[in-house]
Amino acid sequence: MKPKVVIAGGGAAGMAVALRLERLGVEPVIVEREERLGGKVRGWHKLFPTFTPAAEVLDPLVAQIGRRGIECRTGAAVEALSEHGVKLASGQTIEADAVVVATGFTLFDARRKEEYGYGIYDNVVTSADLERMMNEGAVRLADGSTPRRIALLHCVGSRDEKVCQRHCSKVCCITGVKQAIELKKMFPEADVFNFYMDIRMFGAGYEELYREAQQSYNIHFVRGRISEASPMINGRIQIKAEDTLTGRPLRMSIDMLVLLAGMRANDDNAALAASAGLALAPNGFMQSADPFLGAVRSPRRGIFYAGAVTAPKSLADTLAEASLTADAVMDYLNSVQR
């Protein structure tokens, strides 16, 4: 009998862990809330910093899951879990020898930052909306025209005490640089501005892309937070900000405002944690057993983590971490079988 491991979450992290475990002789079962595998990456157009189409990474993972015959329960949400399995919202239980929590994150709802008018004014979109528009080949203003001046605002719903999201979402600076370049490629005549508090370029190739954005694409980076956006009579958007490098207030009319919405913890993390005696970090993400030697382990033996359920992560980091999770699960299974 092969040991069985339930993986809660069928995004990139969950799929990568399942594939690795299956190769190591385990029977993985993926439980995914949505009707399809793929998670948030499914809605993404291209990946930073290489502009690789997201589908080129995601589709092979989904195809391998099918080829290897890995069991997937889609349209099924995990309501409670323990080291012995999971309970679904339908009331059904799936018993297992270990459980991996790979339920990911939630995108910050930009409507909570009312001052930017998301969901109220035309042409105020989030970074996720922009990816969808790029996927559909339809980056246009609401009246069908092309934007001539575009602003991207960093840290929307991150590093913000007012919305109780103090953490840095880690990937939105580089997403802003990537999207600014994509917009400039689409609309070479447009002026593109990135408004930021700090630029955090921690990954391989990120700093180079940031420089390229300035030197090759003439994208403007303004250190300052936009305090307010308001609609103008001519259909444009007026933004107010302060350039914190020069100390000067700034008023600008733009055609499109892109809000780089942050990653926040899932609302149901608390219930999942309570069901299994797990701990949450102050920002609501799942707390690992140890930040150095146990990043993919929970404080409870037999329950493991993968991907952005513990903290904001890039897709590259998520996929790399999946192997660590699978190794930790194997160590555990071997130790209890002995």
- For the CB of residue 154, give the shortest distance to ligand SF4 in the complex, in Å: 3
Query: Nearest CA to 115 among 223, 197, 194, 231?
Result: 231
- DSSP-derived letter for residue 64 is H
**Sign of the torsion formed by the C-alpha atoms of 189, 216, 312 and 243:** negative
- Is 165 a binder of ligand SF4 (CB under 6 A)? no
**Sign of the torsion formed by the C-alpha atoms of 116, 121, 126 and 130:** negative
Q: Which is nearer to ligand SF4, 169 or 298 (CB)?
A: 169
Among 46, 170, 178, 264, binds ligand SF4 (CB under 6 A): 170
- Is 169 a binder of ligand SF4 (CB under 6 A)? yes
- For the CB of residue 95, give the shortest distance to ligand SF4 in the complex, in Å: 40
331: Cβ contacts below 8 Å, ≥ 6 apart: none
- For the CB of residue 308, give the shortest distance to ligand SF4 in the complex, in Å: 13
- For the CB of residue 260, give the shortest distance to ligand SF4 in the complex, in Å: 5
Q: Which is nearer to ligand SF4, 93 or 214 (CB)?
A: 214
39: Cβ contacts below 8 Å, ≥ 6 apart: 9, 10, 11, 12, 13, 14, 104
β-bridge mates for residue 116, sequence order: none
3-state per-residue secondary structure call for 220-288: EEEECCEEEEEECCCCCEEEEEEECCCCEEEEEEECEEEEEECEECCCCHHHHHHHHCCCECCCCCECC
Segment near ligand SF4 (CB under 6 A); pick from 76-84, 167-175, 226-234, 297-305: 167-175
Task: Dig out the tokens for 253 from the structure.
Answer: 């009319």
CA distance 329 to 302: 7
Q: Which is nearer to ligand SF4, 40 or 170 (CB)?
A: 170
- For the CB of residue 200, give the shortest distance to ligand SF4 in the complex, in Å: 5
Task: For the segment 304-323, give every residue that binds ligand SF4 (CB under 6 A).
Answer: none
- DSSP-derived letter for residue 290 is B
- For the CB of residue 126, give the shortest distance to ligand SF4 in the complex, in Å: 13
- Is 200 a binder of ligand SF4 (CB under 6 A)? yes
Q: Kindly determine how many residues on this chain lie close enough to bind ligand SF4 according to the rule CB under 6 A.
A: 13
Task: For the segment 223-282, give every residue that binds ligand SF4 (CB under 6 A).
Answer: 260, 262
Query: Nearest CA to 29 among 70, 90, 59, 78?
Result: 70
- Is 159 a binder of ligand SF4 (CB under 6 A)? yes
Among 103, 158, 179, 314, binds ligand SF4 (CB under 6 A): 158
Among 54, 65, 172, 237, binds ligand SF4 (CB under 6 A): 172
Chain positions contacting ligand SF4, by CB under 6 A: 154-155, 158-159, 168-170, 172-173, 198, 200, 260, 262
